[in-house]
Amino acid sequence: MSGIVYLVGAGPGAPDLLTLRAARLLERADIVFYDALVHPETIALAANARRIAVGKRCGKHSTAQQFINKRLVDAAAAHSIVVRLKGGDPMLFGRAQEEIAALEAAGVRYEVVPGITAALAASAQIGISLTQRGVVRTVSLVTPRVGEGEAANDWARSIVAADAGAIYMGVGQADAIAAALIAAGKAAATPVAVVENASLPNARVIYLTIAGLPRIADDGLPGPAVILIGAQFHAHQAAAASANALVDGATEPDDCRESTDPGRVRIGR
């Protein structure tokens, strides 16, 4: 095998959050296999490369992982620089290990280029640190999603055991997530921040509680979103609940409504 495969993190969305190494590799790439959530401007950096979509989106047609693995191996035999462009960071819920195993088995050289993961971008978007001295010292990064043939994982207990948590790929299962967290011992009133399209101009935020999570399934979040859970979001969640009550006299718990700053923050309790 003459080529080398780079597993590159595209970051959370904004093209200018790409690392310098990643940008330079895209400019030099012969062929690029990119995920569904990678920004078009990021893909456009690979101006001289053949660009192939191999994205995976829940509920939509997607490329089988085994097929992606084979294409990477085949591409390394025909090209000098192969880029596998992944949303966020390749090593966090990015199936990188499966691709690395296939490359190693075929004797293909590879290198991993890290990217900013969604939880950190969401934290930056709302200006609330995932860790805070004296309040939050541990953070659990989890996903309730399981692949075909995989056994369900006990992800909820890891969030209960930590001071805070970030749930990836969970908005479509919001009601089940709320039930699982409460059943595992997390208080229903625990503050939550749901951040959609972190780092992009159309980013939105919903502040609520675990008990209110089922409402976000009806709130229209078409973009990728991260669910952040922890005491550090209490002040914002409380302010959002108070704002709802002042605006329209809302008395129903767990209500979520649009804020006066559309396009950035949505408020709820």
- Per run of 10 residues, the mean pLDDT along the chain (length 269 residues) is 92 97 98 96 98 76 86 97 98 95 97 98 97 94 79 87 96 93 97 97 96 84 93 93 65 40 36
Q: What is the pLDDT of residue 255?
A: 42
Q: Using CA atoms, how far apart are residues 35 and 236, in angstroms rounded to an integer?
A: 33
Residue spans per domain, the chain: 4-113, 118-268
Angle CA 8–11–12, to nearest 5: 150
Say which of 35, 89, 163, 255 is annotated catalytic: 35
CATH topology of domain 118-268: 3.30.950
> What pLDDT, on the 0 to 100 scale, is given for residue 50?
98
CATH architecture of 4-113: 3-Layer(aba) Sandwich (3.40)
The pLDDT tens digits of the residues spanning 48-100 come to 999 999 986 555 556 789 999 999 999 999 999 999 999 999 999 989 999 99
Q: What is the pLDDT of residue 241?
A: 87
Amino acid identity of 223? G
Residue 213 confidence (pLDDT): 95
Give pLDDT tens digits for 173-194. 999 999 999 999 999 999 999 9
How many helices and strands, by DSSP H and E, does the chain display? 8, 12
User: Among residues 85, 113, 120, which one has the least CA distance to residue 20?
Assistant: 113
DSSP result, 94-136: S-HHHHHHHHHHTT-EEEEE----HHHHHHHHHT--S-BTTTB
State pTM to two decimals. 0.87
Closest to 144 (Cα-Cα) out of 183, 86, 108, 115: 183
Helix 96-105 with 65-78: angle, nearest 10 deg: 50
Tokens of 132: 């805070």
Catalytic residue among 30, 56, 70, 86: 56
Report the run of H or E that residue 9 belongs to, with start and end.
strand 4-9
> What average pLDDT does the chain have?
88
Q: Establish whether 35 is a catalytic residue.
A: yes
Give yes or no: 186 in active site.
Answer: no
